[in-house]
Amino acid sequence: MAAEALVVSRLNRKFATPAGEVIALHEIELQVQQGQFVTIIGPSGCGKSTLLKIVAGLDTAYEGSVLLNGKPIAGPSIEKGFIFQEPRLFPWLTVEKNIAANLSLSKPEVRKRVDELIELVRLKGFEQAYPRELSGGMAQRVSIARALLRDPEVLLLDEPFGALDAFTRSHMQEVLLDIWQQNRTTMLFVTHDLDEAVFLGERVVIMNPRPGHIRGILPIDLPYPRKRTSSSFQELRRKVLSEFEKVEGPELEHGAGI
């Protein structure tokens, strides 16, 4: 069995508001093995994004234990790549310079790695393009390449395809799976789209709101590539959906954008 890359134990996160204390996360227990692709799904307000920010080191005001490869997470670091819903590119930089970020392309090792990533995310020929010249899916691929530049131990994705149209979203899911299968980077992917969660993940973490907690974790024992129309996919989709019929809170998208 693969070693555990991420171990979350008895995690609690509370926020003070004018109306009183809000418990965003309650007694979260989660283990993710190295190289595993885990999707996290739940209705709005269940703490999915809060959990991801804690793992990224962007939020440290929590109680409990969060370990990455056996070490406590104390803040942001190059070991953790984070991808937001919006690409957040520098508009004045080209694709290759956005990927390199603060590293110099004049260094042979940086040049080589950027070229490899451009090939990996299927942007060959767009090295000199600016963000305004890219589609939404292409811009998000630049964001993914930038996050992979320093070979992070875990890649955290917070609804990265939520703003894309149906066709682009489906294509980006396939691109991401290609990247994962080539690199085997541990991935934690937050979504509110049930089909997306089942299509991508080896395991689906189901969260409930008020307070945010893990209702269950379901293995998705389907080989890649997956077909959404297959009977086995639909059966697992129904299994995950049946869990959500018990969830109290805003509705999920049962296949939004698919």
Encode pLDDT of 107-132 as tens digits.
999 999 999 999 999 999 999 999 99
pLDDT-derived band at 256, boundaries 50, 70, 90: very low
- This prediction has a pTM of 0.91
pLDDT-derived band at 234, boundaries 50, 70, 90: very high
In contact, 121 and 141? CB cutoff 8 Å: yes
For residue 47, give the nearest of 35, 34, 33, 64 by alpha carbon.
Answer: 64
Q: Show the tokens assigned to 59.
A: 């939020």
**What letter represents residue 86's amino acid?**
E
Output the DSSP codes for 17-82: ETTEEEEEEEEEEEEEETT-EEEEE--TTSSHHHHHHHHHTS----EEEEEETTEE--S--TTEEE
